[in-house]
Amino acid sequence: MYKLVKVNENYAILRISDNAGIPRAEGNRDYQQFLQDIKDNDMSIVEGADIVSPDYVSLRRGDDGYSRIGEQLDMQYKNDGSWEAHILDVKTRHPKTNTGSTTVEVIPAWVQEEVDKLQEI
Amino acid sequence: MSKVKIAGHASGSGTLTIQAPDTSSSRTITLPDATGTLLNSDGSAASLTAIPAANITGTLPAIDGSNLTGIAGRRNMIINGDMKVSQRGTSWAAITSGVYSLDRWLFYHNLGAYTVTQDSTGADGFANSFKIDCTTADASVVADDYLLLRYTFEGQDLQCWKKGTASAESVTLSFWVKSNKTGDLAIHLFDADNTRGIGSTPTINSADTWEKKTITFAGDTTGAFNDDNAASLWLDFWFDGGSTYTGGSTPTSWEAVADSDRGAGTTLALADSTSNYLNITGVQLELGTAATEFEHRSYGEELALCQRYCTIMGGGYKGAKQNGTTVLTVTYDMPVAMRAEPTTTNNSVAAAWMDHDSYSGSTTSYTTTVSNMYGGGTVIRVNWGNFSGATDNRMALITSNAEITFDAEL
């Protein structure tokens, strides 16, 4: 069994039996075996990549979350209500009810396309 | 006073002339005090051929390296032929077929079960050998059964064979082998680029005794090896097999491969008893028709050669980039350039990580996958996955003693 792994739109393959990470690279023998195994079986031996939607903690800490501490201190020094507004804005946009989720992506078309190109050796 | 006698030959008709050189000096030539025929000499010594090597003693003159054939540079094209490097472990009980054990050596079987070890004994002068120990016998060989040990070459390392040209070179294989069984092995060279092969069936003559075997394979004027980093040639040692692989005849000259010829001629039947074992070491493949002494290399040299195909990187502190919420990306500087983008496995030792100001979590169920390879294989980026609480585009520090195995074997 295999599971696809997707990071920044790049795919790799995880071989479940030994937790081996297989690159999507033609010169890799395990990648060739991955394609061959699908050809010998079918696509049911592959699970799509997990798509993780971050929870509110990650979102509040991320680029779309709280400003850097120096900027927040600056807002507090000005004491013009901007800091409270900023905090409220982040909390509103990323509420605690967002506990994150993980969905499994549909197996992308390139997998079958590369299986189809596989040559018998 | 001794005398000089010049005698003619009753059968000859020519005239022998003793010619003086164009000189004003007086010279004396002293004849050897021995019976025999004088060597020919034409001034350049071009006629001095076939002098027994044993008679060439004393201090040799400086000889241009281009005139020394068969002894210059690296001779052995096999990496880890003396089985001294075994990064992945030293013993594999009930080894799975098609899995690398000792570096560069791949064991295939579907007949019986075996323990493979890096044995700490070898032929004289060798500290190690590849040992195959039959632990579940199967004497009922069916057609598709196979039992073989394989070494695979990159095509770019075989260009010196001049295969596929009129001046194709012969190559000579030598190795040491020991088994409780006597009988024939089948050796097969399989040109995977052109599906051509040649074989031989050396005999193990005495049980439980190290024997050196030497085989010369003729050059092949058909089918050049691809000049790339992919698999071009398999060197297979067949120890048993069914008719699909042994039902033909040994190809003593290069031929279009017939599967039934690949293991033909093997009579060893290594699978037929749990008493059976076989050790092999000192495997050398070299250009030419002579098997020279095994080319011993230091452990460090041999390890570096193996690391092109397998490298194990230890743990410690690893600077990383947080990539989304579950991935930490680490860049590894490899000790040598890897052949291709490697498969990565980890030993599941706990890995903790922290961001710039706090401890952030630990897990043993992380995954490691190669993201990219740069610098011709010298730099590899690995995604450590299955963490939680990361924040995209921030720094992280992984603290772990986990080892990651990078595998780019053929």
**CATH number, position B286:** 2.60.120.260
Q: Exposed, middle or buried: residue B93 (CB in 10 Å: 0-12, 13-18, 19+)? A: exposed
CB B343 within 8 A of CB A20: yes
Q: Which two tokens stand for residue B113?
A: 């079960």
Looking at B306, B326, B358, the residue that finishes a domain is B306
Mean pLDDT in residue range B200-209: 98
Q: Which residue has the higher pLDDT, B81 or B9?
A: B81
Q: Does A14 contact B324 at a Cβ distance shorter than 8 Å?
A: no
Mean pLDDT in residue range B45-56: 69
What's CA A67's distance to the chain center, in Å? 24
Q: Which domain holds residue B168?
A: 91-306
Q: What is the CATH number of the domain that holds B326?
A: 2.40.30
Look at residue A121 in the predicted model and tell me its pLDDT: 43
- Considering the domain architecture, whether residues B220 and B196 belong to the same structural domain is answered as yes
DSSP secondary structure string, B268-308? --TTS-TT-EEEEEEEEEEESS--PPP----HHHHHHHHTT
Task: Please say if the pLDDT value at position B52 is more than 80.
Answer: no
First to last CA, chain B: 79
In 3D space, the residue among B407, B409, B320, B333 whose CA is nearest the CA of residue B366 turns out to be B320
* Nearest beta carbon to residue B391 from set A22, A61, A121: A61
What phi and psi, each to the nearest 5 degrees, are found at residue A83?
Answer: -70, -45
Looking at every residue in chain A, the average pLDDT score rounds to 93
Mean pLDDT in residue range B146-167: 98
In a domain, B134, yes or no: yes
In 3D space, the residue among B89, B388, B396, B387 whose CA is nearest the CA of residue A57 turns out to be B388
- Considering the domain architecture, whether residues B268 and B175 belong to the same structural domain is answered as yes
Cα(B285)–Cα(A35) distance, integer angstroms = 33
User: Using one digit for the tens of pLDDT, what is the confidence trace for A10-22?
Assistant: 999 999 999 999 9
- Considering the domain architecture, whether residues B280 and B315 belong to the same structural domain is answered as no
- Considering the domain architecture, whether residues B350 and B201 belong to the same structural domain is answered as no
Q: Does A62 contact B192 at a Cβ distance shorter than 8 Å?
A: no
* Nearest beta carbon to residue A27 from set B230, B324, B382: B230
User: Using one digit for the tens of pLDDT, what is the confidence trace for B63-107?
Assistant: 665 566 556 578 999 999 999 999 999 999 999 999 999 999 999
In a domain, B25, yes or no: no
Q: Exposed, middle or buried: residue B299 (CB in 10 Å: 0-12, 13-18, 19+)? A: exposed
Mean pLDDT in residue range B186-210: 98
Q: Does A12 contact B348 at a Cβ distance shorter than 8 Å?
A: no
The b-or-e profile of A17-46 (16+ CB within 10 A means b, else e) is eebbbbbbbebbbbbbbbbebbeeeeeeeb
- Considering the domain architecture, whether residues B236 and B302 belong to the same structural domain is answered as yes
Query: pLDDT category, B8, cuts 50, 70, 90?
Result: confident
Looking at B306, B324, B353, the residue that finishes a domain is B306
Task: Please say if the pLDDT value at position A112 is more than 70.
Answer: yes
Mean pLDDT in residue range A98-115: 95
Q: Which residue has the higher pLDDT, B348 or A81?
A: A81
Percent of chain A with pLDDT over 70: 98
Q: Does A63 contact B408 at a Cβ distance shorter than 8 Å?
A: no
Mean pLDDT in residue range B155-168: 98
In 3D space, the residue among B151, B290, B163 whose CA is nearest the CA of residue B215 turns out to be B290
Q: Which residue has the higher pLDDT, B358 or A113?
A: A113
In a mutational test of the A interface, the residue from B323, B391, B393, B405 whose CB has the highest number of chain A CBs within 10 Å is B391
Could you tell me where the DSSP H helices lie in A1-121?
29-40, 56-61, 69-78, 82-93, 109-117
How many separate domains does chain B show?
2
User: Using one digit for the tens of pLDDT, what is the confidence trace for A21-70?
Assistant: 999 999 999 999 999 999 999 999 999 999 988 889 888 988 889 998 99
* Helix, strand, or coil (residue B368): strand
- Considering the domain architecture, whether residues B193 and B268 belong to the same structural domain is answered as yes
Looking at B241, B276, B306, the residue that finishes a domain is B306
Q: Is A13 on the interface with B (CB under 8 A)?
A: yes
Task: Please say if the pLDDT value at position B20 is more than 90.
Answer: no
